[in-house]
């Protein structure tokens, strides 16, 4: 171990183990939020699920709040990386519809469900809101920028900026609707129509 440490001073096995443990804890937090909701998520459950001792978990994340704030950052990074990867495989034809599909998958994914639990809990929990609110605003701006790039629109145009924002709010609303019933066929028809409307209105690259 000492030899390995000297060979890779920036990534010691100890450092890697710590990173891996943190990732396991954050993944377990998201799983718990998705399956049990905010009120059913406890730090004990998360450490059990992650296979991490309570002591180690408390060392890295002393409170549930610390755990979920890092989980929000972790979720945001995951979403951004997934979007970037998906963007590399966009078709030249019907590009707008393909972008809406990728975004829609994000807004109906487990990661969205975990974020939804946090948003709703934060509404009636001031401490959580103070931590999650500013983070969500930053993430919202990032997602907006990424969407503008993916759609290939000029959002300095009057109205284009608002239609990109409306697209993300529409997807959020569709994501919320999808939590109560499987309405994927309805969602597909709505996105077909919206892609056409976007292309006709702000000349998103089709």
Say if CB 25 and CB 52 are below 8 A apart: yes
* Touching a copy of itself, residues 28-57 (CB under 8 A): 35-40
Nearest to 21 by CA among 54, 65, 45: 54
Q: Determine if 189 is a binding residue for a copy of itself (CB under 8 A).
A: yes
Q: Determine if 151 is a binding residue for a copy of itself (CB under 8 A).
A: no
Q: Determine if 166 is a binding residue for a copy of itself (CB under 8 A).
A: yes
Q: Determine if 144 is a binding residue for a copy of itself (CB under 8 A).
A: no
Q: Taking contact as CB under 8 A, which single stretch among the options 6-14, 54-62, 92-100, 125-133 is the one that binds a copy of itself?
A: 125-133
Distances (CA, A) of 38 to 51, 66, 73, 139, 169: 20, 14, 17, 20, 23
Rounded-to-integer distance, Cα 28 and Cα 15, Å: 20
State the number of CA atoms in the 13 A half-sphere of 142 facing the CB: 15
Rounded-to-integer distance, Cα 73 and Cα 80, Å: 11
User: Among 124, 126, 156, 185, which residue sits at the site for a copy of itself (rule: CB under 8 A)?
Assistant: 124
CB of 158 vs a copy of itself, minimal distance in Å: 9
Give residue 198's region: left, alpha or beta (phi > 0; psi -120 to 50). alpha
Neighbours of 70 (CB within 10 A): 16
Alpha-carbon Rg for the chain in angstroms:
20
* Touching a copy of itself, residues 103-122 (CB under 8 A): 113, 116-117, 119-122
Residue closer to a copy of itself, measured from CB, 99 or 122: 122
Say if CB 110 and CB 30 are below 8 A apart: yes
Residue closer to a copy of itself, measured from CB, 38 or 61: 38
Q: Taking contact as CB under 8 A, which single stretch among the options 42-50, 58-66, 83-91, 180-188 is the one that binds a copy of itself?
A: 180-188
Residue closer to a copy of itself, measured from CB, 25 or 195: 195
Chain positions contacting a copy of itself, by CB under 8 A: 35-40, 113, 116-117, 119-125, 129, 132-133, 136-137, 140, 159, 162-163, 165-166, 168-177, 179-181, 186, 189-190, 192-194, 196-197, 200-201
């Amino acid at each position: 171990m000492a030899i390995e440490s000297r060979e890779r001073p920036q990534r010691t096995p100890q450092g890697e183990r710590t990173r891996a443990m943190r990732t396991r804890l954050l993944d377990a937090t998201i799983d718990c939020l998705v399956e049990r909701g905010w009120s059913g998520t406890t730090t004990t459950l998360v450490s059990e699920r992650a296979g991490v001792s309570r002591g180690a978990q408390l060392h890295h994340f002393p409170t549930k709040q610390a755990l979920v704030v890092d989980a929000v950052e972790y979720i945001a990074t995951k979403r951004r990386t997934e979007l970037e990867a998906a963007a590399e495989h966009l078709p030249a034809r019907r590009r707008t519809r393909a972008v809406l599909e990728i975004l829609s998958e994000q807004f109906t994914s487990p990661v969205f469900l975990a974020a939804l639990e946090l948003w709703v809990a934060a509404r009636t929990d001031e401490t959580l809101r103070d931590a999650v609110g500013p983070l969500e605003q930053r993430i919202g701006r990032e997602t907006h920028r990424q969407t503008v790039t993916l759609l290939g629109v000029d959002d300095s145009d009057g109205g284009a900026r608002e239609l990109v924002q409306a697209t993300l709010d529409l997807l959020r609303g569709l994501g919320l609707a999808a939590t109560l019933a499987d309405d994927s066929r309805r969602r597909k028809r709505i996105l077909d129509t919206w892609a056409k409307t976007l292309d006709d209105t702000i000349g998103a690259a089709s």
